[in-house]
Amino acid sequence: MNKSAKQTIALASIFQSSALVHQLAISGKCDSHTNKASLNSIVSSSDSIDEIFTSPEDLKIGFDSLKLILEKKTIEMHNVMVYATALINLEKKLMKKPQLLTQISAEIDHLKKQDFFDVHHTNSIARLAELYKNTIGSLNPTIMVRGEQIYLTNRNTANHIRALLLAGIRAVSLWKSQGGKTWHLLLNKKKTLRYVNSLDA
């Protein structure tokens, strides 16, 4: 797999976390398979994008979202684009806070050692949400999630949204480790879209 393909996969993982957050905010639920894949990426010990996401199905929501945005169907993807951009900016700020990085790393290592809960369990999601709130949530500007108040004020849904935002930060880190840069979103559109379309072939 070439560098461009790995960048596109990592970029799709950013948009997937953002799209799943959007789904939760407006409906209180999200796609099950891709949700598990995104949450699993937080506790994955690998830094290889093709080992973390082993199948295009793991990132189906991400690829679908990326395709819509690249095809300029931006009205329906407005919130997803806002969240993805905010995650990229927050990750940049996080990299300048070594204490927060150490805290996040230690808590995730602790979570990995739990045999009694998997990462999709309500308790694990609550811990990831608390970790996000106490670390990335302290950085400004915070991500303002828009949706239905009935879902946003539900404790479990709010926890799930924060856990997926943490997955989004992990995705940005992976994207940057593959050489991803913000200007690629503008200049590499055709190349990215060509790869995404090839997955449907």
**76 contact partners, CB below 8 Å, separation of at least 6:** 68
Does 4 have pLDDT greater than 70?
Answer: yes
Instruction: Write down the pLDDT at residue 189.
Output: 66
Nearest to 167 by CA among 30, 15, 55: 15
Over residues 43-50, the mean pLDDT reads 85
Question: Cα–Cα distance between 116 and 10 in angstroms, integer?
Answer: 30
Tens of pLDDT, residue by residue over 150-166, are 999 999 999 999 999 99
Over residues 34-63, the mean pLDDT reads 91
Residue 142 per-residue DSSP state: P
Question: Cα–Cα distance between 41 and 84 in angstroms, integer?
Answer: 17
Q: Determine the 3-state secondary structure of 193 from DSSP.
A: helix
| Position 181, amino acid | K
- 15 confidence band (pLDDT: 50, 70, 90): very high
Mean pLDDT check: name the lowest of 18-22, 121-125, 160-164.
121-125
Does 146 have pLDDT greater than 80?
Answer: yes
- The encoded tokens of residue 27 equal 């409906």
pTM for this predicted structure: 0.91
Instruction: For tokens 């690998």, name the residue.
Output: 46
Q: CA dist 115 to 44, 111, 118, Å?
A: 15, 9, 7
Over residues 2-27, the mean pLDDT reads 92
